[in-house]
Structure 1
């Protein structure tokens, strides 16, 4: 495989940016996968994740042999970048996979399922959360904000007005009159405005 000095320098430059990616340690696989695929695509080596290795045949042409050698080299680079993106524990677990595609598919099968489970847990936790009397409402509001930030990490989008309405419903019993006044407001309330209302009222 022939690589010009310019191309080689570009690859080195792109590869050096790899250290800016967070190591995957088993959480939020989809976000890590998107970042990793972007890196591999930038390096022009992502295609081995979708392209089978050319088979060896008798009396094959030099061109076919070179194409297979090129694929092998690219696959080695691709696997190296994926492995380098794993935490030490996961590196030790997955380092013996034969091809980059096998490694990629194994990670996807294992951790995509866990991501789905995590999302279901987050939704259930949010839906079941209920504020209680005797504890700062603003502290409880911050707890809910942390949940919403986790939603963002998983690229889960929720309509702000639905979120606001849900939080109002979660207010403790002692706040029932305030809750009623918020629900009867004609204008829609943003999440930020709701936080201000709660802060002032408390």
Structure 2
């Protein structure tokens, strides 16, 4: 409702867009530094889903791009890898070993695959817990 009141006097889509951009995507030094600090200090947590955390990471990247701050794809990939918990150390080594270049898409795809395989392992290990064979 608050946002609607702020753009209610605009008559064109371009006017609404311009007003919203002026309100929320300020290119000030403080905003730019805040977004950069949020990205560089971003850490993934074990208790949250990978998809949810990738979404947060991508939002930070997009917010920076919206204020004309670009971060190289390989740097984005490395920032994401550095944000992983310690339990992912072997994953990081495996992903980077023998490569000349790594992209953000490759890292995100590998993380999603790892999460899916871990879910399947948990599901299969819990589904057979109650089965025992009794024989004479």
Return the TM-score normalized by structure 1. 0.46
Q: Which whole-Å CA distance do the structure 2 matches of 1:174 and 1:144 have between them?
A: 19
Higher relative contact order (CA 8 A, sep 6+): 2
1:24 aligns with 2:19: yes
Instruction: Tell me the residue number matched to 1:140.
Output: 53
Q: Which whole-Å CA distance do the structure 1 matches of 2:62 and 2:107 have between them?
A: 17
By how many angstroms is 1:19 displaced?
1.6
Structure 1 spans left out of the alignment, 5+ residues: 1-17, 31-114
By how many angstroms is 1:24 displaced?
1.8
1:183 aligns with 2:96: yes
- The number of aligned residues is 101
Match of 1:194 among 107, 110, 113: 107
Residues 76-97 of structure 1 show CA distances to partners (whole Å, capped at 9, x for unaligned) of xxxxxxxxxxxxxxxxxxxxxx
Instruction: Tell me the residue number matched to 2:84.
Output: 171
Residues 8-28 of structure 1 show CA distances to partners (whole Å, capped at 9, x for unaligned) of xxxxxxxxxx82311425222
> Does the residue aligned with 1:163 lie in a helix, a strand or coil?
helix
Give RMSD over aligned pairs. Answer: 1.8
Instruction: Tell me the residue number matched to 1:60.
Output: none
Residues 131-181 of structure 1 show CA distances to partners (whole Å, capped at 9, x for unaligned) of 111221222111100101101110111111111011111111221110111
Once the two structures are superposed, the pairs formed by residues 1-202 of structure 1 within 5 Å of their partners are 19-21=12-14, 22-25=17-20, 26-29=23-26, 115-202=28-115
Structure 2 spans left out of the alignment, 5+ residues: 1-10, 116-136
Return the TM-score normalized by structure 2. 0.67
Q: Which whole-Å CA distance do the structure 1 matches of 2:82 and 2:98 have between them?
A: 14
User: Could you say which structure has the larger radius of gyration?
Assistant: 1
